[in-house]
Structure 1
Amino acid sequence: MDFDMLGLPPRLQANLAALNITAPTPIQTQAIPHAMNGRDVLGLAQTGTGKTAAFGLPLLSALMRMEGRAAPKTARALILAPTRELAKQILENLRAYAEGTHIKTALVVGGQSINAQAQKLTKGTDVLVATPGRLIDLLDRKAVRLDEAKFLVLDEADQMLDLGFIHALRQIAKVLPAERQTMLFSATMPKQMAEIAGAYLTDAVRIEVTPPGKPVERIEQSVHFVEQAHKTGLLITHLDRHRTDAALVFARTKHGAEKLKRQLEDKGFAAASIHGNKSQGQRDRALKSFKEGELTVLVATDVAARGIDIPSVRYVYNYDLPNVPDNYVHRIGRTARAGRDGTAIAYCAPTEMDEFRAIQKVMGRKIEVASGEEWEGEKKPARGGGGRRRGGGGGGNGGGQKPGTTQPRRSRARRGGGRRSQAA
């Protein structure tokens, strides 16, 4: 199947061809025809499968058929995304698809001047891409109205739940017209998503390209069971094997991400970090440098798990395992994009075994062990660093077990080796 068979306007087809997008992905093949017919759509597909075009192309097609202009301070279509990075990525894609058309787009996210955003909305817009928090701020200021919105898209809706946006979504829903077309896209389907789908969608067609929580088969996954104190040394060893390849490293905390970035810089890596303590300008510059190859390592917290669409990312490292198992799927989904292969490597400390088991349960599969053995009988550290865990989050050389630390089931040296030491 090609895009011509999906009934898209010639202008959109020409723009896709100019972007070297020649064949629709499975989620696009299944979702676009229903969306073009005005149906509500519940789309379940993992990251990197082309969801933006799946909702963006039929949305743009419908807007191109509408006459007149958007009224002042109104938006004809609203797209909600959980993070600034993802919202900006969606806007860039839509603008590329709509090149040469009359479609007007606008972006409202935190970290930028709210007055400038309000000013841009005074003349109205066809497509408004927003994060929930900033949109509510603008609604409170009466800088934008949503009563004329004919289309609503919720992208990465599961992460909106993770980030606590459920209350914000309810506020926004109250000012939207009941008569509208709604599309909800998500990589996973947690239980609370049924409430969202029931509240926002009407007689929706459900499209599930891959089972929720299942990463693409092109991603080679492995885990190293390693003491927390030895993670940095092991990461440096792995990164050193592919210094010219783009690598994304996920840390759990803002402080940990910044500390790890400095340690990598000290070892000669071209690295940057993005997290909640960075301004939007700093985050944008880091992503731009990473995308253009000026940086080869980007250390991030989960703020970036859904907002990075850089096909050159070959490696994803889970330096710290996420507290929410679904976030592991989103993290590793930053690689193997646009049909490419990718490698995802996880480091599991003794205190992270609960998280590791939850990740495998969500995915429904075992992650291949690259080095070490699964930890047994581990307890979470008491407040203040007690419990059976020893050592901090930095330093170390990835070497063998230190005296006095918790032992795995069978003693085994860990220097990034093991039976798959070259997997990284």
Structure 2
Amino acid sequence: MSFKDLHLIKPIQKAVAASGYVEPTLVQQRSIPLILEGKDVIVSAQTGTGKTAAFALPILQKLYDKQDAPKKGKKIRALIISPTRELAIQIQKNFKTYAEFTNLTSLVVFGGSSIEPQIDVLKKGVDILVATPGRLLDLHKQDYINLDFIETFVLDEADLMLAMGFIDDVKKIERLCPQEKQTLLFSATIPFKIEELANTLLKDPERIDVTPTKSVAKNVNQTLYYVPKQNKIELCLHLMRNTIEGNVLIFRRTRNGVDKLEETLLKNGFSVNSIHGDKPQSERQTALNKFKNGYVKILIATDVAARGIDINELDNVLNFDMPGIPETYVHRIGRTGRAGHTGNAYSLCSADEKNYVKKIEQAINVQIPVVTDHPYPLDPKAEPVVHKRQGSKYKKGRKSEASKKKKKRWY
């Protein structure tokens, strides 16, 4: 999915592209369409999932048509409340970046700094205000802030707001805004108190949960490499030589694939063993013992053969072929990062496996970080290679030349 698919307008797409973002994150894919529709939304997402853009982009789009200030100056139409000044500054910085090709203006106000410069900007008028609760109420009391024109009200890091004792201030601020407005609540977790707050502030909200599912191992660093199918072996060798340290369990889809890769790695001087369904049990057990005891650093396996493999100190898992079933992916990467250790899961994805990645990410609620800096990148526009089966050279239903000439046969 691209930002264009989210129906964002050209100036915003341009700003996003200039920031270096190519694909929207899961939280953006799920939140932006609902916010553009004007719905109230509760989003449960960790920091670092791209949630600021998830509300900033649709807010800018909704304000874009009314961006030219009336004669009396701009009115604050979007208000974002943040618990700490650092977060508030970061949010406003994002708004500034995404509004680069529009005339929309934003301001951040927070305590612990001089109030005068903030008042000067407020007098001129802004479209979007990012604020910490205390300073906002202070400026409102002094009549420098008018919240009568708020169309979108955002509560960011609501659980942190609760922990810092700001909930009463938040309720007060919400009451100062018009009744008819869109309210968006973002929180890393949704404890009971936040649930209660949401019930009082939001009208019939849509819920979006992009916290990682519990089944995904927390101690596993996941990375994804997009690579043309024909270059997978080269990329695998490149990773083995330059990136992967320690032992590695490599998964392949077929027995033939296991044998092929084992042969290549042996030719390239790696100590490697393999297990699959065609090998006798004794051979499989020997290969596994060698791997467990560190005599062999690389073990290649199919999913069936890998069932029941339990290695406490497995450093890496490499998905040479992406599994078509998300549970299989979870099962594979769960082999590493056990017993307090940190593990790595590398996945090689060709054009025909992109749909598998999409399914996996939706199932585990995690966007797998993509590594683009490698020698065999996949063209983003690359289409899956379709191998057409060769038909028979004889056309069906046609008589042979011999029968046409009605030649008498010898039999």
Gaps of 5+ in 1: 221-365, 371-424
Partner of residue 209, structure 2: 208
Equivalent residues in 2 for 1:88-107, closer than 5 Å: 88-107=89-108
- The whole-number CA distance in structure 1 between the counterparts of 2:83 and 2:216 is 20
Does the Cα contact within 8 Å between 2:67 and 2:104 map onto a contact in 1? no
Contact 1:74 1:121 in 2 (8 A): no
Aligned CA distance change for structure 1 residues 114 and 108 (closer, same or farther; 3 Å)? same
Q: 1:209 to 1:111 in 2, by over 3 A?
A: same
Contact 1:188–1:213 (Cα < 8 Å) also in 2: no
8 Å Cα contact 1:158-1:189 kept in structure 2: yes
Deviation, 1:217, is: 4.2
Report the equivalent of 1:147. Answer: 148
Deviation of 1:140 after TM superposition, in Å, equals: 1.1
Correspondence 1:167-182 to 2 at 5 A: 167-182=168-183
Q: Offset of 1:209 from its aligned partner?
A: 1.3
SS in structure 1 of the partner of residue 200 of structure 2 = helix
Match of residue 20 from structure 2 = 20
In the TM superposition, what is the alpha-carbon distance from 1:19 to its structure 2 partner?
1.1
* Percent of aligned pairs with the same amino acid: 45
| Residue correspondence of structure 1 range 244-259 to structure 2 within 5 A | none
Matching of residue 166 in structure 1 with residue 167 in structure 2:
yes
1:193-229 CA-to-partner distances (Å, cap 9, x unmatched) read: 1121112111111000125999984766xxxxxxxxx
Code of the aligned partner of 2:178: P
**Alpha-carbon distance in structure 2 between the residues aligned to 1:109 and 1:139:** 13
For 1:40, the equivalent position in structure 2 comes to 40
Q: Residue 214 and residue 90 in structure 1: after superposition, are their counterparts in 2 closer, same or farther (change >3 A)?
A: farther
- 1:69 to partner: Cα distance: 2.1
In structure 2, do the counterparts of structure 1 residues 18 and 218 end up closer, same or farther at CA, with 3 Å as the change threshold? farther
The CA deviation at 1:179 is 0.5
Does the CA-based 8 Å contact 2:219-2:338 persist in structure 1? no
Q: In the TM superposition, what is the alpha-carbon distance from 1:144 to its structure 2 partner?
A: 0.5
TM (norm. structure 1) is: 0.50
Instruction: Tell me if 1:127 matches 2:111.
Output: no
State whether structure 2 residue 73 is matched by structure 1 residue 59: no
Superimposed CA distance per residue, residues 360-409 of structure 1 (whole angstroms, 9 cap, x where no aligned partner): xxxxxx99447xxxxxxxxxxxxxxxxxxxxxxxxxxxxxxxxxxxxxxx
Aligned length, in residue pairs: 227
Q: Which has the larger radius of gyration?
A: 2
Displacement of 1:120: 1.2
Checking the alignment, whether the CA contact within 8 Å between 1:189 and 1:212 is kept in structure 2 is no
What is the identity, as a one-letter code, of the residue corresponding to 1:64?
Y
Kindly tell me: are residues 45 and 91 of structure 1, through their superposed partners in 2, closer, same or farther at Cα, counting changes over 3 Å?
Answer: same
The 8 Å contact of residues 25 and 50 in structure 1, kept in 2 or not, is answered as yes
Please give the secondary structure, in 1, of the residue aligned with 2:184.
strand
Q: Secondary structure at the match of 2:63?
A: helix
Distance 1:47 1:214 in 2: 20
> Which residue does the alignment assign to 1:5?
5
Give the partner amino acid of 1:28: Q
Q: Is the 8 A contact 1:46 1:213 kept in 2?
A: no
Q: CA deviation at 1:123?
A: 2.0
Say if 1:158 and 1:187, in contact at 8 Å, map to a contact too.
yes
Letter of the 1:159 partner, please give it: L
- SS of the residue 1:125 aligns to: coil
Maintained 8 Å contact 1:46/1:212: no
Q: Which residue type is aligned with residue 197 of structure 1?
A: A
Relative to structure 1, is the Cα distance of residues 190 and 102 closer, same or farther in structure 2, using a 3 angstrom cutoff?
A: same
**1:226-263: CA deviation from partner (whole Å, max 9, x where unpaired):** xxxxxxxxxxxxxxxxxxxxxxxxxxxxxxxxxxxxxx
Gap change, CA 1:129 and 1:368, over 3 Å in 2: farther
1:245-303 Cα distance to aligned partner (Å, 9 max, x none)? xxxxxxxxxxxxxxxxxxxxxxxxxxxxxxxxxxxxxxxxxxxxxxxxxxxxxxxxxxx
Residue 199 of structure 1 corresponds to: 200
Matches within 5 A, 1:365-404: 368-369=339-340
Residue 115 (structure 1) shift: 2.0
Give 2:22's aligned amino acid.
Answer: T
- In the alignment, the residues of structure 2 paired with residue 27 and residue 98 of structure 1 have an alpha-carbon distance, to the nearest angstrom, of 20
Q: Tell me the TM-score normalised to structure 2 length.
A: 0.52
Secondary structure of the corresponding residue to residue 129 of structure 1: strand
Structure 1: distance between partners of 2:213 and 2:46: 7
In the superposition, relative to structure 1, how do residues 368 and 110 fare at CA in structure 2: closer, same or farther (>3 Å)? Answer: farther
**For residue 113 of structure 1, what is the aligned residue in structure 2?**
114
CA RMSD of aligned residues (A): 2.5
Q: C-alpha distance in 1, partners of 2:214/2:119?
A: 38
